[in-house]
Amino acid sequence: MPSRKIAIVSVYDKTGLLDLAKGLNQQNVRILASGGTAKLIRESGFPVEDVSAITNAPEMLAGRVKTLHPAVHAGILARDLASDEKDLAEQNINKVDYVICNLYPFKDTVAKVNVTIPEAVEEIDIGGVTLIRAAAKNHSRVTILSDPNDYAEFLKELDAGEITEASRKRYALKAFEHTADYDTAISDFFRKRYAGEGKQYIGLRYGANPHQKPAAAFVSGGDLPFKVLCGSPGYINLLDALNAWPLVRELKRALGLPAAASFKHVSPAGAAIGIPLTDEEKKVYFVNDIEGIDSSPLAQAYARARGADRMSSFGDMIALSDKVDVPTASIISKEVSDGVIAPSYEPAALEILKKKKGGKYLVLQIEPYWDPSKVETRSVYGITLQQHRNDARIAPDIFETVITPKDAGPLPVDALRDLTVATLAVKYTQSNSVCYASRGQVIGLGAGQQSRIHCTRLAGDKADNWWLRFHPRVLGIKWKKGTKRPDKSNAIDLLVSGELPKFGPEREAFEAVFEEVPQAFSEEERSEWLGKLDNVAVSSDAFFPFIDNVFRASRSGAKYIAAPGGSQNDSAVFATAEKLGITFVEQNIRLFHH
């Protein structure tokens, strides 16, 4: 067998090709090339042979078949094994040492306006992909160059006498990435045309903002796990729905009751399980007129989830763990909401929802037993990030490590329930996050703050507002006839938050919704009423770095706190909790969510 090295060159991008040919010839490398590559090298005066010199077969089918031949691929795939040497000798085939190849510009072609399928098909490279993949597979012996930017370094090593193993590995990785990216572009193009809208691929109205078009949702294998029963989803709708659904599914699994979540901007405004509502709660949550709510735990769950923070829930994406019934749909029909995701719908409930927003209300049906891949991948600013999906199990039995008080017995059932609700909520809340829970529901949540104390304060302020809505003064409000639910929510929020305007147009707008304008709360009244809030469970997605968090939680009735340890101030945090009569539970799992 000859000792002269062989290179096969077949490139669409001719950048640096002539410098490469010159360097290969200086090292006495035999160059075999195809089509336009051979033509350019030959016209530039460098020695080159057509691939047909070893295949003994002409290019066929208008150039679509050039390098697809055993003489080419056996030469590339042969290893330094006696059995391979024997096969090559019997067929009079020489080993190939270097493959230089890049592919037809499929991406550029399909980026053109109104590109046709035949035009796209013409740019699907077959021989080139096969050359690259074969050489990359055998990179322990063969050097594969798919990026013209690597030619100079390759020639430098070739001139030194050897292509290093490290370089061959690096070039092989680039080659695999090149073909993978190429295949992804092809599958993306045909998915949009062949997959069937709503099956494997669905077009979205736009991305996070109206100018971000086009936008789509798809899976690379099988079918999408949801169906669109009504409306047209947007990018943020799906971000909310696909974070809210696992939250309610996990709540149902952990606590055995129907669960609901109200999501806004990829964080829950509220989440709850289906516990019967008192007459006061029905009034506070604006559901005292919902027929059948007493017999629908799902409706009770959504009433609590929506009622936790009505201001934040305005225009929410709803997730429901169970088949949607008429009482639940009746609540949704009265609220300003963007959409709902649930495993199924009663026919009558679906008809109610389809009438909302003039027939454009988004209704998604999720496959309840679908489990996503264990690996999550996203692209940010052109960089791909990957991680194991956060499948940490949250349930009442994880809250066993009581730090303080040291002589505490088992936690009460209600405390375990509320710690589970709060901890699952922060699992699906943009970090940093802190959640207050009571009565099987979120009552205050601080999301996405850079400082943990700001999360704790924000969540505590919301919990205070939630509790003040149960004050007799609020329950006794006399509304003007025809006042809409959002206007009621806004007025109540101004009243209970202490942000009540004293004069001017804002004060006039506030007073305009009442038959009798309620009196503002004095500081003494607020303090006296908030002092009655008790048995609140608080969960944090990471450790409390300072004792100020414990003091703030205590002011909003915290009786139980669950958080990971790991702070240098853990001992001070635990001591402060004990001093304030708070049971501190270490739950051992950090739950950042981004």
- Show which residues are catalytic: 137, 265
Question: Cα 245 from chain centroid?
Answer: 12
Give 404's contacts (C-beta < 8 A, 6+ positions apart).
574, 575, 577, 578, 583, 584
SS3 273: strand
Which alpha helices (H) appear in 406-471, and where do they start and end? 413-427, 452-468
Q: How far apart are CA 563 and CA 545, in angstroms?
A: 11
Q: How far apart are CA 218 and CA 171, in angstroms?
A: 31
Nearest partner of 452 among 477, 483, 429, 419, judged by Cα: 429
Q: How far apart are CA 216 and CA 198, in angstroms?
A: 11
Pairing state between β 226-230 and 6-10: unpaired
Q: How far apart are CA 526 and CA 500, in angstroms?
A: 14
Could you tell me the two tokens for 124?
A: 């699907």
SS3 296: coil
Give 523's contacts (C-beta < 8 A, 6+ positions apart).
none
Q: How far apart are CA 126 and CA 247, in angstroms?
A: 45
Could you tell me the two tokens for 557?
A: 């009735």
For the chain, how are helix, strand and coil distributed in percent, rounded to 5? 45, 20, 35
Dihedral in degrees, nearest 10, Cα atoms 89, 93, 98, 103: -150
The 8 Å CB, 24+ separation contacts for 70-78 are: 72/8, 72/96, 72/131, 73/130, 73/134, 75/6, 76/8, 76/131, 76/134, 76/135, 76/138, 76/142, 77/134, 77/137, 77/138, 78/138, 78/141
